[in-house]
Amino acid sequence: MQDRLRTLILKSGLALGGLSYPDRALALAVPARTLAAGTVADEPQVNALLRSSLGAESSFLATDHVELRRWLVDTGWWQRDAFGRRYERVAASELREVLRAIDAALGDRDLASWVTGQREAARTARERRRQTWEQRRPGSSP
């Protein structure tokens, strides 16, 4: 599951509607965790969390905070009150089976830090490949 999430977070411009249900559920785990378990937040607070996430760990998603908030509620990661004013993360024990499996696989990992680390490792590997190619291409100096 981590390998699949790594593949997703290394992309850019990922449209949620174009993903399979399992990939969408996995991708949404990243912004879902911006709201701490047990925390109840109002809409302005949630909007600020999601905007921040879209500028950082969730930047692989091609969406805005409003659509993302709806996806999180519609897929079952978050719940809101009947007036749409209060939001909270659904307790792990109450998640749908697919979401519960994702949540369990991710454990207590700080996803924001993990995403940053994965992106940095990919950037470093890409730079190493570029340097190797530069050194081996015909006409390059030793």
Q: Which domain holds residue 67?
A: 2-136
According to the model, what pLDDT value does residue 140 have? 64
According to the model, what pLDDT value does residue 87 have? 98
User: Residue 78 belongs to what H/E stretch?
Assistant: strand 78-80
Do you know the residue count of the chain? 142
Dist. CA 17–CA 119, nearest whole Å:
23
Among the residue ranges 4-8, 51-55, 78-82, 130-134, the one predicted with the least confidence is 130-134
pLDDT at 26 over 60: yes
pLDDT at 136 over 90: no
Q: Does residue 142 lie within any of the structural domains?
A: no
Dist. CA 48–CA 83, nearest whole Å:
19
Using CB atoms within 10 A of its CB, is residue 90 exposed (0-12), middle (13-18) or buried (19+)?
Answer: buried
- pTM of the full predicted structure? 0.87
Q: Does residue 141 lie within any of the structural domains?
A: no
The number of folded domains in the chain is 1
Q: Which positions ≥6 away from 103 have C-beta within 8 Å? A: 29, 92, 95
* Residue-wise pLDDT tens digits, 73-107: 999 999 999 998 999 999 999 999 999 999 999 99
